[in-house]
Amino acid sequence: MATGVESANLIALLRSVFGFAVFRAGQEAVCRAAIDGRDLLLVMPTGAGKSLCYQLPSIARGGTALVISPLIALMDDQAAKLTALGLKVARIHSGLDRGVARQACVDYLQGTLQFLFIAPERLRVPGFPEMLAKRKLALIAIDEAHCISQWGHDFRPDYRMLGQHLPGLRGEGDPTPVLALTATATPSVQADILAQLGMKKPVQFIHGFRRDNLAIEVVELPVPERAEAICSLLANPERRPAIVYATSRKNAEKLAEELSRTVSRGGAGRHSAKRIPAAAYHAGLDSETRERVQTAFQAGELEVVVATIAFGMGIDKADIRTVIHAGLPATLEGYYQEIGRAGRDGAPSRTYLMHSYADQKTHDFFLNRDYPPVEHLNQVHRALTDEPQQVEELRGAVRLGEEEFDKALEKLEIHGGARVDFGGNVTRGGTGWKKTYAIQAQYRAEQFEKVLRFTTSSECRMAALVRHFGDVEDASRACGICDVCDPAGAVLRQFRRPSPVDREIVQSIVDDLRPVDYKATGTLQRNLELGGRMSRNEFDSLLEAMVRAGLIEIEEAEFEKDGEVIRFRKVRLTERGLEVRPTTLLALLISDGIVEEFGSRGASAPPRARKSKASAARPGKKAEPEAGPVQLSAAGETLAARLREWRAAEAKRLGLPAYMVLNDRTISAVAQARPANPNQLLAVSGMGPGKMEKFGEAILGLCGGKE
């Protein structure tokens, strides 16, 4: 076998066969391991270029690659691309007629095929695995490998059989390497894939999930206030093009309409007020309308699309500046895919996730709809026989509503309890469905729990996502630009400096925690006897601020009581927290609702708006995000130039883009304020505790006028 292939040779193959100039991040290492014959699991986001990671090694090794893929559309797409490159490719799936399959087998046995694509169920056909085993394969690639795991959201029972067929297909002696590829595998799914496929000393490549130019902002906002906040945000043309994910078709349409009535900012001096070009997109629209919306968005005629989850699969738009979730997504996987559509061009982009307690109820509703009670499935299963029945006939025999019936049958089919053939005939399947269905419904509920925890966590948002996808190593680095890392840079969510009362309570918290290892947040709150001084929500915001400032740590924990799992949060002091005395200078920024500019107006406004107003008078209120460039004095310009020079060096040292050290707006603001001490520097718009910690001393040194 071709081992130890030179870099130059790999690049030569990449160029001559695929026509690509360079490898993308991670591809070369994966190709090398595969060429060396290693079993491997590759987890990279959609669109990162996983296919190349089995295609190129297979060509380098010589012979035929067997590619197992769960969807006909995916297979056809890859096969068409490879054929267009002049490679010899065949597919075998149920959408093709028998002659094609027979020819594919003939070609395979003659050794003229470079790639053979099959659906997993093909391995159930008697004699087929034996036919494949007659030749030694170059490699076996399993695409969308998460389908093998019942923990994965697309579980396919047919994938489950792969494990038992692989040993025969890999052959004796120097076994053919197995490559498992997927974009979504949490650590438990990863472990399941390795075990199910019986991989030998597998190498795991998990990367590419971090997106350096996406700033994630999470905002708690009551449902009725979201539309207005979204309209004000997107009135600024710099925040468009944008995608807004709505929670229902009705909401998508309402919001698109409100946006279309909103006057776009900018365009000053013109007579006609330009509106925001927006449209709704959801599965309830006819395909012609959907096509039109998608094309117009792609072409830039529409600048905002308000969509349900159905939108975005087919779009390839690099300059999306904003993605807004007007409600909580069901899973972090879905959420990540959706925010990932922003900033494909690498330019800074922002994403907003709006949530409140009410979102949980909506989700319970969806969960019940998508995962109907087992009893529904039971009813359908009982009505099935070994004799094929027409679906309509079956529907008549089962006493369920039309949608309930469809959902139950769909679930039964997915979990192997029913078999539906191409003519729409249904027969009874196995009995294993009950177990896998229950596991999956449970898993789905847990997925949502994770979304909830993501919103309440005080960890860097990007780090939390990267960790969720299993890249533990990369998760130790904070992004520097999300609302947790850089609260002062938040656009929608507003932060304020602590009041004397806040400061007092911080001290009580520290004193209360000092003698103990940890306390539950609830106990802590009760001990402090906050009385009328602070609500539970305000207390939580204060704790969050203390986490960000590195004074305390909060850890999710649980215990069992009467067979019920009870979750709570443990708070403990950090070393820095231990040192806090009433005189200690603290860089605290407390979350305080949303920036007034985006909030509700009018007399009937809820308490939140009043709160915003109160905080507007506070000294720490940051400048309007849209504030134009500051006019600097000559001395200010000199300082700004010095700061930029320092920033360039610092960015280089840290290997970060310059705007992540300090953005231009902050540099101007610092140059204008010329802070003389940490407190003054912290009051500058754009300076958060994170930046203070990392760069405070250096910036103050530059401002200190050593002229």
Phi, psi of 350 (to 5 degrees): -125, 145
State which residue, 481 or 510, has the beta carbon closest to Zn ion.
481
Q: Closest distance between ligand ADP and the C-beta of residue 592, in Å?
A: 41
Q: How far apart are CA 473 and CA 390, in angstroms?
A: 53
- Which of Zn ion, ligand ADP, none has residue 23 at its interface (CB below 5 to 8 Å by kind)? ligand ADP
Q: State both tokens at 334.
A: 């879905």
Q: Which of 479, 547, 571, 681 binds Zn ion (CB under 5 A)?
A: 479
49 binds, among Zn ion, ligand ADP, none (CB under 5 to 8 A by kind): ligand ADP
Q: Indicate the helix (H) or strand (E) that contains 68.
A: strand 65-68
What are φ and ψ of residue 101, in 5° steps?
-65, -40
What residues numbered 19-48 form the site for ligand ADP, per CB under 6 A? 20, 23-24, 27, 44, 46-48
Which residues, including other chains, have CB under 8 Å from residue 402's CB and lie 6 or more apart? 395
Least Å distance, CB 23 to ligand ADP, is: 5
Q: CA-to-CA distance for 380 and 406, rounded, in angstroms?
A: 10
Selection from 282, 291, 276 nearest residue 241 by Cα: 276
Cα separation, 235 vs 205, whole angstroms: 42
In this structure, are residues 359 and 328 in contact, taking their beta carbons and an 8 Å threshold?
yes
Question: Which partner from the list ligand ADP, Zn ion, none does 485 bind, CB cut-off 5 to 8 Å by kind?
Answer: Zn ion
235 binds, among ligand ADP, Zn ion, none (CB under 5 to 8 A by kind): none
Q: Which amino acid makes up residue 129?
A: P
- Measured distance CA(237)–CA(186) in Å, rounded: 37
As measured in angstroms, the least distance from the Cβ of 472 to Zn ion is 17
Distance CA 482, CA 477 (A): 12
The answer to whether residues 107 and 88 touch, using CB atoms and an 8 Å cutoff, is: yes
Residue 460's binding partner out of Zn ion, ligand ADP, none, with CB under 5 to 8 Å set by partner kind: Zn ion
- As measured in angstroms, the least distance from the Cβ of 42 to ligand ADP is 9
Min dist CB 49 to ligand ADP, Å, is: 3
Which of 32, 35, 41, 51 is the binder for ligand ADP (CB under 6 A)?
Answer: 51
CA angle 473, 478, 483 (to 5 degrees): 145
Q: Which of residues 365-394 bind Zn ion (CB under 5 A)?
A: none
Residue whose CB is less far from Zn ion, 39 or 217: 217
* SS3 label, residue 214: strand
Among 32, 38, 50, 496, binds ligand ADP (CB under 6 A): 50
Please select the residue that binds Zn ion; options are 79, 166, 185, 482, rule is CB under 5 A: 482
Closest to Zn ion by CB, 89 or 464: 464
Closest to Zn ion by CB, 303 or 483: 483
What's the min distance (Å) between Cβ of 11 and ligand ADP?
A: 10
In whole angstroms, what is the distance from residue 284 CA to residue 290 CA? 9
Q: Check: CB of residue 143 under 8 Å from CB of residue 70.
A: yes
Q: Is 111 in the site for ligand ADP (CB under 6 A)?
A: no
Per-residue x/- mask for Zn ion, residues 403 to 422, rule CB under 5 A? Answer: --------------------
Tokens of 442: 């449970």
Q: Which residues bind Zn ion (CB under 5 A)?
A: 460, 478-479, 482, 485
Q: Give residues in contact with ligand ADP (CB under 6 A).
A: 20, 23-24, 27, 44, 46-52, 183
